[in-house]
Structure 1
C-alpha cells in the first residue's frame, strides 16, 4: 500500500512537470528549444549513459539513443536501476550548485523528463524514486559504505566482472568518500562517484555543442531577415520628401545604382561563365554582395571552443563538423528567402517598388548560395566521417541517403538553370526546375526526419519553404478557377508575314501581367507563360461601342517569346468587328499581340498555319500580377518612353494614365508598319499631352533622345524614363542616361524604369 501511494505521488509530480511541455521547447535551438538544460545534470548522465546496468540486456542490438550516440540500455532500465538513480542524484548534488545552480524545480523537471531518454524530454518514463529520495539514499550509502552485488548469483551471473575497485578518493570538494569512481563504458552496479575530470569533459562538450547550435539558428535567422527585409527598408526611401527630385540622389543612382557592375550590358547576356549570364546592376550587386558577405562571415564566424571535452578530440575535428552543420543550416535560410523572391504572389512585390525581374535575379543568387552551402555541408561532413567517424555506417543510413538526394538535386538545379538552357530550352528548364525543387525539398525533409525526427526544429525551415511554394501554387490555381475556362481566338496580324499573331480572349477583364495556359496545345499542358496586359475593357450600358481601358504590363526578354496584350478598338479595319452592348450587358475582352519566337509562340503559330485564318483553343488565365511602374511614375512631372517593336505595348498603359497637366513623349522604333497599323487607334487615343515619334525601319538615336530630354528640362522637373523593348535597346538607354548624368550634361533629376520580365 505504501509503495502504491509513493508511485501515485511520483506520477502526480511527473504530470505536473510535464503539463504543457513538448520535448524541450518549440522552435529552433536557442530560439525556444534547449538541448541541455540544466547542462550540469545532462553532463552527469552523459558520463553514465554508456555504462551497462544490471538490467541492460545482454548482447542487446536495439539502439535507445541516437544514430550518432547509440545506447543499448532501454529507458525503463534507467528509471528503475537503483545504482544509476543514486549515482545520478549524487552527481547532480555534487556539481550543479557551483555550475549554474539550477533551482530544485528545474532539477526535478529534468529528473522526471530526461532520465529515461537522456536527450529530448519524455515524461513517459517515470523514475521509480524521486530525486530527493535517490539523493538521500546515495548519501546514506556514502556514509555507511556499500556492498557490492554477489556476481556469482544467478540473477547477476550475466554481469560477471562488474565489480569495481573499492577506493577512498578525494573527489567531493576534498572530502573523503568511500564510493568507487565510475568509468565510462564500464559496468555500474553500485552507487558511485563521477570524477571531476570526466564530468568536466562532458560538461564542456555539451556547452560547446549547444552554444554553437544556437548560433547556427541565430545567424540563419539574421541572414533570412536581412534578405527579406532589406528590399522593404530600401523601398521606404521613396517616401522621403523631395529625395527623388534631388540631383544628388539622381547622381548617386547614376553612379551606384542604375549602371551594370561592369561594362554596359545588363539585360543582354554576356559569356562570363559557361552557359552565359546576366550582369546585375550596381544596386542589385550591392544587395548580392551583402548577402554573400553574410554567408561567408556567418560560416566562418567565431565558434566556442572548450577543452578538454567529450565530443571532439581536437580543434580541427570540431571545425570540420561544426562548420559543416553551420553550412547546412545557412543553406535552408537562403532557401526560404529564395522561395519568397520566386513567388509570383510575393507580398514583397506589393510592399516594395522593386520589379519582378529584380526579384527573379535575386532569387537566382540566393539559389546559388543555397547550392554552395548545401555542397559545403555535404563535403565537410563527408570528410569528417571519413577521417573521424564511421563512414561505412553513415553511408548506409537513410538520413545520409536522403541527404545525397538533396545535394545532387541542388547541383542539378544549377546545371539545368544556366541561361543558355533557359533561352534555348525554356520548357525543359521549367519542368526540370520543378522536379528538382521537389526532390530537393523531399530530400531535405527526410534527411532531417531520419536523423532528428521533430526534436530540434530543423524541419521548420522545410515547412516554411514548402508553405511558401505551396501557397503560391494554390493562389495561382485559385486565379485560374476565378477566371474560368475560356476560349482564345488566335489570328495573324495583318501585314506582319506571320511574325506577329493576336490572341483574343472574351469574357475577361484584367490588369497587369497574366500567365496563360493552353491545356490542349502540347503535352506539357500544365505550363503557364507570361503575357503582359496593355489594355482591357469591360463596359456596361446601352447600344454603345466598347472602348479600351489601359492597363500595365511587363515584358519577357530572356525567353524571347514576348507577348503583349492590347485591345483592338472595334472601328479598326481588321478581323475585329464593331460590338454593340445592350442595356445591362457586360462585354469584356483582352487581346494579346505576340511576336512568334520559340516555345509556346512557335507552337501557336504552327497550329494557326495548319488551321487557316483562325484558331480557337481553350485557355486558363493566371493573374493578374503586380507592376510597380505606375506607382513610380506617379511622382514624375513628365515621362519619356522609349519602345522597340512590340515593346510599345509595355508602355502604352502608363501613357494612358499620364495625362494633363503632366506631359510626356513616346519614341517608338519598328521594323515595318504592321504594328503601327494595328495599334493606330491606341496611339491616337493617348492623351493630347503625349507626343509620339515613330521611327520605321531604322534604329532610334538613343543618345540624342536622352540628351534632349534630360538636358532641356528644368532642374525641378522629375523625369520618368521608361524603356521597354529588346535587351540591347534597354541597355543603351541605361548607359546613355547614366553617362550623361555622371558627366554633368543633364539638368533634370530622373528615375529609370526598365520594364522587363526575365528568367
Structure 2
C-alpha cells in the first residue's frame, strides 16, 4: 500500500488534467450539452487515453531515468510526436479501447477519436503512425500484464481497472453535469425572455371588461404589500413591486433556486475528488456560475433602453428596469457563491493547492469579474440613483464593462475556446453592444448631430428647452456634451412634440404669450415631492419668448429644476446661440414600431373614457393623449392637472393654443395651481355608481405619492365593480 500511494498521486494529477484541466486544446463549436459533446459517445476511449497519461514512454525525456516513486510526480509529459509514434503506447491504447468500449460503437467513431486525440488535443499535431485497426492488428497475443507506472512501457500492457474507473467517472461526470448546467441556464434565459411575451398575449383573450378590471385590481396593479409602489419604502432604500411584478420576480427567484439545487450527477470513484462532498461543492460551483451567466444576459437585456421585449409586450420600461434590479442581485449572488465555493474547495485540497491555482491568470480574472459585479450593487441603491444620478451612471458603466471583460477572460484563460462557456459571456456583450454601440448611436444620428437647444426659465421651479428641427415622441434622452466632461451622460425627458400634437391643439404661442408675470406660489404641499414647503416668490422670472431664429417646428421639454444638469442648463437660459445637444429618441408608447400593440391608454370600444391625472411636468407625457382619434368611440376625456405655479400652465397653454380655456381639444381640463387635487375624491366623483358609460382608463403621470394614491383608488373602485383600469406613465432608468 505504501508503494501504491505515490502511484495513485501521480495518476490523480495526470487524470485531473485529462478530465478537463487542459488550458489549451482544440477549438470547439457550441457548448456542452447544446451542440457540443466533449467526450461522449466515446467517453470510454478518452478514459483509456487519460488512464495512460502518466505512463513513461521510451521516447519521452524521462525514459532513461531511474525514478523513485515520489520523483514520478515531477516527470515530464511525452511530446505529441512521442505519443503518435510509440508502438507500445499505440497498441496498449488500442487494446484498452477494444476491451472497454461497447460493441455498438461504430468503427468510424473510434477511428475519428484515434486520429484526433492519440497525440493530444491540439488543432495542429502529428497523426498517429497507425490507424486504430492497424494498431489492433499488431497485437499478436492477448496482454495480461497491468502496467507499472514507475517503469518504462516496453510492450502492450493493460491499464489499471481502478484508475480507468476513476478517469471514466471523472470524464463522464463532468460532461453530464456541465450538460445539465448549460441546459438549465438556457431554461432560465428562455423562460424569463418568453414569459413577458406570453403574459402580454393574454391581453388578446376576449375576457369581459368587468373580469379584466377585477383581475388587475386583485392580482396585478396594487403593491404586493402596503400602500407604496412609486414612493420608496424600507427607509427610502427600495421599491415595493406591484403584485403582478412580484409574481414574475417570485418565479425568477424560484426557478434559480430550484435549478441550483437539483439534478446533480454523482459519479464514483472519481479521479478529481477525494470524497463525494468535495465533488458536490464543485458541481454546485459550476451550476451557480452558469446560471449567473444566464442572469447576466437577462439583467443587461432588461435594463437596455432598446430592449426588444418592449416592442413585443405590453410591459412598461419601468417594469423591466425594476425586474432588472432583482435579476442583477441574483446574478451577483450566484457569481459570489461560485467564487466562494471554488475558494473553499482548493483551500481544503491540501497545502499549496490554493496558492498554485490562484497563480493562474484565469483565477484572478475571475476575481476581477466577480468583484466588478459585486461593486455594482452599492453604487446602485435608490438614494444614490436619485441624488447622484451622474455618479450612478458612471459607476454602472465602469463596473458592467469590467464584469463582462473579466468574465470573458476568466473563461478564455481557463479553456481557450474548448468548452463553449465563452458563448454565454459573448451573448451578454452582444446585448450590451447592440444597445450602447448600435441602437443608441443610430437614434442620435437619425435626429441630427448639429442640433441646438434653447433654454428658457419659466420660474424658480421649471425650465423650458426647445429643440427646433427634430421629430420625436414619447421620451427622449438628451446629451449636452459641452456642459460636462462626462460626455456619455444622458437624461430622459418627456417630449412635447410641437409638430406632433393633433392639429386642433397645435398653436405657435410663446410661453409668455399671456403677458402675465409669474405670481407668488400659494402656500401648499409641494406638488412634486409631497413635502410641505414655504412659498417662494418668482416675481420677475418671466419666461422669455422663443426667439424667431428657432421658432420652428420641433420638440420641447419642461424640466423641473433640481441640481446637476438642470442647474447648468439654467445658466444658459436666454442664450441666442443655444447650446449643442444630441437627441436620442423616440422611446415609450408613442414610439413608432411595426409590432407594438395598440396603445391601451387611448379610447377603445370597451374602454371609451379616459381620465388623465398630471402633476407638475408630468403633463408633458399626457399631452399626446389630449385629442381623441378621429374614429374613436364616443366617450369622455378629462384632465386634472395639479401644478406648483402658473408660468408652467401658461407655457403649456401656449403650446396647445387654449389660454385659460376649460377644454383642450376634446378634453375637459381642470387645473389646480399651488394645490394638489384629492385624487381619490376626483376618481370617486367621476367613476362611482356608473358615472361613466363604458370602461374608463385612468392614466397618471406625476409625483410618486400621487401615482400611488391613484393606483390604490383605481384598485378599490374596480373591486367594487366599477369598470376601470390603471396606467402609470413612468420612464425609469
TM-score category (smaller protein): 0.7 to 0.9
Residue from 632, 639, 646 that aligns with 1:673: 646
Matches within 5 A, 1:377-388: 377-388=338-349
CA distance change for structure 1 residues 39 and 71 in 2, over 3 Å: closer, same or farther? farther
Matched, 1:646 2:610: no
Q: Secondary structure at the match of 2:138?
A: helix
Aligned residue number for residue 319 of structure 1: 280
User: What RMSD, in angstroms, separates the aligned Cα atoms of the two structures?
Assistant: 2.9
| Cα displacement (A) at 1:579 | 9.3
Matched, 1:470 2:419: no
CA distance change for structure 1 residues 365 and 606 in 2, over 3 Å: closer, same or farther? same
Aligned residue number for residue 633 of structure 1: 601
Residue from 181, 187, 199 that aligns with 1:234: 199
CA distance change for structure 1 residues 277 and 340 in 2, over 3 Å: closer, same or farther? same
Aligned residue number for residue 36 of structure 2: 33
- Deviations along 1:440-494, one digit per CA (max 9) or x if unpaired, are 111111101110011111111111111111111222112222222211111111x
Matched, 1:479 2:443: yes
CA distance change for structure 1 residues 417 and 71 in 2, over 3 Å: closer, same or farther? farther
| Cα displacement (A) at 1:515 | 0.8
Q: Secondary structure at the match of 1:234?
A: helix
| Cα displacement (A) at 1:588 | 2.5
CA distance in 2, matches of 1:683, 1:488: 21
Aligned residue number for residue 702 of structure 2: 725
Residue from 96, 99, 105 that aligns with 1:94: 99
Range with bigger deviation, 461-470 or 630-639? 630-639
| Cα displacement (A) at 1:715 | 8.9
Q: Secondary structure at the match of 1:515?
A: strand
Matched, 1:600 2:565: yes
Aligned residue number for residue 55 of structure 1: 59
Question: Is the 1:350–1:626 contact (alpha carbons within 8 Å) kept by the matching residues of 2?
Answer: no
Range with bigger deviation, 476-485 or 675-684? 675-684
Matched, 1:621 2:591: no
CA distance in 2, matches of 1:407, 1:577: 53
- Deviations along 1:644-698, one digit per CA (max 9) or x if unpaired, are 1111111111122456533211111122222221112445566654211222222
Q: Secondary structure at the match of 2:194?
A: helix
- Deviations along 1:592-612, one digit per CA (max 9) or x if unpaired, are 11110122112212444xxx6
| Cα displacement (A) at 1:184 | 5.5
CA distance in 2, matches of 1:735, 1:184: 77
Range with bigger deviation, 453-462 or 733-742? 733-742
Question: Is the 2:626–2:666 contact (alpha carbons within 8 Å) kept by the matching residues of 1?
Answer: no
Question: Is the 1:23–1:121 contact (alpha carbons within 8 Å) kept by the matching residues of 2?
Answer: yes
| Cα displacement (A) at 1:96 | 0.7
Q: Secondary structure at the match of 1:304?
A: coil
Question: Is the 2:474–2:495 contact (alpha carbons within 8 Å) kept by the matching residues of 1?
Answer: yes
Q: Secondary structure at the match of 1:26?
A: coil
Aligned residue number for residue 718 of structure 2: 741
- Deviations along 1:606-656, one digit per CA (max 9) or x if unpaired, are 444xxx676721111112123269711243311111111111111111122
| Cα displacement (A) at 1:305 | 1.3
CA distance in 2, matches of 1:52, 1:472: 55
Aligned residue number for residue 221 of structure 2: 258
CA distance change for structure 1 residues 628 and 356 in 2, over 3 Å: closer, same or farther? farther
In structure 1, stretches of 5+ residues that fail to align are 1-21, 61-68, 143-176, 549-556, 561-571, 582-586
Aligned residue number for residue 9 of structure 2: none
- Deviations along 1:390-426, one digit per CA (max 9) or x if unpaired, are 1001111100010111111111101111111111211
Aligned residues: 650
Question: Is the 2:714–2:725 contact (alpha carbons within 8 Å) kept by the matching residues of 1?
Answer: no
CA distance in 1, matches of 2:248, 2:75: 45
Structure with the larger RCO, 1 or 2 (CA within 8 Å, 6+ apart): 2
Q: Secondary structure at the match of 1:633?
A: coil
Residue from 112, 117, 127 that aligns with 2:115: 112
Question: Is the 2:28–2:420 contact (alpha carbons within 8 Å) kept by the matching residues of 1?
Answer: no
CA distance change for structure 1 residues 462 and 700 in 2, over 3 Å: closer, same or farther? same
CA distance change for structure 1 residues 297 and 681 in 2, over 3 Å: closer, same or farther? same
Q: Secondary structure at the match of 1:632?
A: coil
- Deviations along 1:272-321, one digit per CA (max 9) or x if unpaired, are 6xx71111111111111101111111111121112222222322001111
Range with bigger deviation, 447-456 or 681-690? 681-690
Q: Secondary structure at the match of 2:101?
A: helix
CA distance change for structure 1 residues 709 and 315 in 2, over 3 Å: closer, same or farther? farther
CA distance change for structure 1 residues 658 and 756 in 2, over 3 Å: closer, same or farther? farther
Aligned residue number for residue 329 of structure 2: 368
CA distance in 1, matches of 2:423, 2:465: 44
Q: Secondary structure at the match of 2:578?
A: strand
Range with bigger deviation, 259-268 or 629-638? 629-638
CA distance in 2, matches of 1:622, 1:531: 11
Matches within 5 A, 1:397-408: 397-408=360-371
Aligned residue number for residue 671 of structure 2: 694
Q: Secondary structure at the match of 1:631?
A: coil
CA distance in 2, matches of 1:342, 1:527: 16
Range with bigger deviation, 687-696 or 313-322? 687-696
CA distance in 1, matches of 2:627, 2:466: 21
CA distance in 1, matches of 2:260, 2:150: 35
Aligned residue number for residue 267 of structure 1: 230
Q: Secondary structure at the match of 2:394?
A: helix
Aligned residue number for residue 513 of structure 2: none
CA distance in 2, matches of 1:673, 1:404: 56
| Cα displacement (A) at 1:360 | 0.9
Aligned residue number for residue 335 of structure 1: 296
Aligned residue number for residue 194 of structure 1: 159
Question: Is the 1:426–1:559 contact (alpha carbons within 8 Å) kept by the matching residues of 2?
Answer: no
Question: Is the 2:59–2:86 contact (alpha carbons within 8 Å) kept by the matching residues of 1?
Answer: yes
Matches within 5 A, 1:307-706: 307-388=268-349, 390-473=353-436, 474-482=438-446, 483-493=448-458, 496=459, 498-537=460-499, 575-576=545-546, 587-608=552-573, 616-627=578-589, 631-634=599-602, 635=604, 636-657=607-628, 661-682=634-655, 688-706=665-683
Q: Secondary structure at the match of 2:466?
A: strand
Range with bigger deviation, 351-360 or 303-312? 303-312
| Cα displacement (A) at 1:716 | 7.4
Matched, 1:709 2:692: no
How does the TM-score come out when normalised to structure 2? 0.83
Range with bigger deviation, 379-388 or 572-581? 572-581
| Cα displacement (A) at 1:332 | 0.7
CA distance change for structure 1 residues 538 and 717 in 2, over 3 Å: closer, same or farther? closer
CA distance change for structure 1 residues 628 and 491 in 2, over 3 Å: closer, same or farther? closer
In structure 2, stretches of 5+ residues that fail to align are 1-24, 65-73, 511-526, 531-541, 592-597
Q: Secondary structure at the match of 1:623?
A: strand
Q: Secondary structure at the match of 2:195?
A: helix
Q: Secondary structure at the match of 1:592?
A: strand
CA distance in 2, matches of 1:309, 1:29: 20
| Cα displacement (A) at 1:258 | 0.6
CA distance change for structure 1 residues 224 and 704 in 2, over 3 Å: closer, same or farther? same
CA distance change for structure 1 residues 34 and 77 in 2, over 3 Å: closer, same or farther? same
CA distance in 1, matches of 2:679, 2:600: 22
Question: Is the 1:24–1:35 contact (alpha carbons within 8 Å) kept by the matching residues of 2?
Answer: no
Matches within 5 A, 1:134-173: 134-138=135-139, 140-142=140-142
CA distance change for structure 1 residues 537 and 78 in 2, over 3 Å: closer, same or farther? same
CA distance in 1, matches of 2:109, 2:75: 26
| Cα displacement (A) at 1:79 | 1.2
CA distance change for structure 1 residues 262 and 186 in 2, over 3 Å: closer, same or farther? farther
CA distance in 2, matches of 1:195, 1:59: 20
| Cα displacement (A) at 1:246 | 2.9
CA distance in 1, matches of 2:420, 2:389: 37
Matches within 5 A, 1:209-220: 209-220=174-185
Question: Is the 2:44–2:168 contact (alpha carbons within 8 Å) kept by the matching residues of 1?
Answer: yes
